[in-house]
Amino acid sequence: MSHFKINKKALMGAALLATAPTVKAQGTGGGSTEGSKSQRGINHLTLEEAPLENITLCIPGKSMTGITGNFKYLPDKVAVVINNWDTSFVKMTFVVSHMTATDYDRQLILAYSQDLLPSPAIPTPKSENKLGLDLNNVEIVGIYDVSSFGMKAQPGTRIGRGNPAPRVKWEFDINLDTAIIPTMVRGSNDNVIYMQAALIKKSDFEAGKFDGMILSEVDTIQFVEKCPEVMVVEEGKPPVRITEMCADKEGNFGACNSDAGGK
């Protein structure tokens, strides 16, 4: 059963996605990028989460993901604490990167499921990441139009020349259901969701052709009352808590304000 309120357009999109196994033989043409060089925006996407309003984001220490120094991307597993249950506004931000220049329109999709599949239900040879969500209970929480934007030759200067191929990150907010999330927090077997983003040519989406889409990794989000001890990496030390997210000049995410105390 759904734990999020979604509009009719999103519900129709989810129904269309769920029928994909019956139409997956309809190819979009083009070659496979499997086994080729990893190129964000070309054969995979990156999905990031950030707190926006009345949310604390708990993340494991850096060593859990095998990253040293300042990590460039957040771990694929985070926990979410709702700071104030009495508010009507609980918002979470999602950031998808990158959108590369194309001469056709695309659809950016953010979907979730409470189950994963052992193997992808839809072949996506152009994507390094594979569809991990269970289509039996998948729902789409966001569908966004990505209009075409092309390359333009840039003028040369004494210090260099701009790259003609722009790329952009998409950031959007999800309003969480304050009536449902508390029941998920109290249910230890029902408090985890799996999120994944997909980018697909708009004409393919409308035709039910899904093998040409590229996907992000699957992120795990757990709704909890406080930062879970299982996320502690070093014995005796609590997880990092982030209530505000910033990015540096290179677009790397990190905490603007953080502390080491549990909630």
**pLDDT by 10-residue block (mean), the chain, 263 residues:** 40 46 40 68 90 82 45 74 81 89 92 91 92 90 90 85 84 88 80 94 91 94 81 57 57 48 36
Extended strands (E) in 54-177: 55-59, 77-82, 91-100, 106-113, 139-146, 156-157, 160-161, 167-175
- Beta-bridged to residue 160, according to DSSP, are 157
What is the C-alpha separation between 72 and 58, in angstroms, rounded?
17
**In the prediction, which pLDDT does 111 show?**
94
- Which amino acid is residue 55, in one-letter code? I
**In the prediction, which pLDDT does 179 show?**
84
**In the prediction, which pLDDT does 168 show?**
87
What's this model's pTM, rounded to 2 decimal places?
0.75
How many other CB atoms are found less than 10 A from the CB of residue 18?
16
**In the prediction, which pLDDT does 51 show?**
83
**In the prediction, which pLDDT does 19 show?**
47
How many Cα neighbours within 13 Å face the side chain of 227? 22
Do residues 224 and 83 touch, judged by C-beta distance below 8 A? no
Distances (CA, A) of 95 to 47, 109, 174, 192: 6, 12, 11, 20
Do residues 185 and 82 touch, judged by C-beta distance below 8 A? yes
- Beta-bridged to residue 220, according to DSSP, are 77, 194
**In the prediction, which pLDDT does 2 show?**
39
